[in-house]
Amino acid sequence: MSKKLVAYFSATGNTGSVASLLAEAAVADLYEIKPVVPYTKADLDWRNDVSRSSVEMKDPTFRPPIADTQAGVEAYDVVFIGFPIWWYVAPTIINTFLEAYDFAGKTIVLFVTSGSSKFGKTVEHLRASVAESAVIREGKVLNGEQTVAGLAEWVESLGI
């Protein structure tokens, strides 16, 4: 049995709620990816071209600093990484997280929350942030009401 971690970034709490359920379902440890400066409601206003999130997402090289790098990724075989979809990709803080650790030889399973978007080019955009030997799997969009039992079925279907 592989050792699993559920790491997540949640700007509004939606992804965090799902991540907690997933950690229980996968019998995994839980780790929150926190920015040094938390996002405010105004920062997340995607309709405002000068909001923090809009400015960050216009620059794919931008890496928001994370509050700590103590996730202990080296101890895990499988890392589920959850986040909201912003502009059809992962927020750049996910690149910050991936680049802070060595994911060589690990399996990364993505899960996302979104009002209406799917994964888009998320895997493609994250690929350069990890070692070539890391496997990144497009997991699942986990919107709406989730249950531990339903998530456990999904985890089991992954064969990891």
- For the chain, give every domain's residue range: 4-157
Task: Tell me the two tokens of residue 6.
Answer: 């559920």
DSSP H helical ranges for 8-129: 14-26, 52-58, 92-99, 122-127
The pLDDT value given to residue 1: 62
Chain centroid to Cα 1, Å, comes to: 23
pLDDT tens by residue, 88-147: 889 999 999 999 999 999 999 999 998 777 888 899 999 999 999 999 999 999 988 999
β-bridge pairing 107-113 and 4-8: unpaired
Per-residue pLDDT band for 81 (boundaries 50, 70, 90) equals very high
Task: Tell me the two tokens of residue 22.
Answer: 């997933």
pTM of the model: 0.93
pLDDT at 63 over 80: yes
Q: Is CATH 3.20.20.410 what the domain over 4-157 is classified as, yes or no?
A: no
The pLDDT value given to residue 55: 87
Closest CA to 130 of 23, 7, 25, 1: 7
pLDDT at 31 over 90: yes
The per-residue pLDDT of the chain, averaged, comes to 94
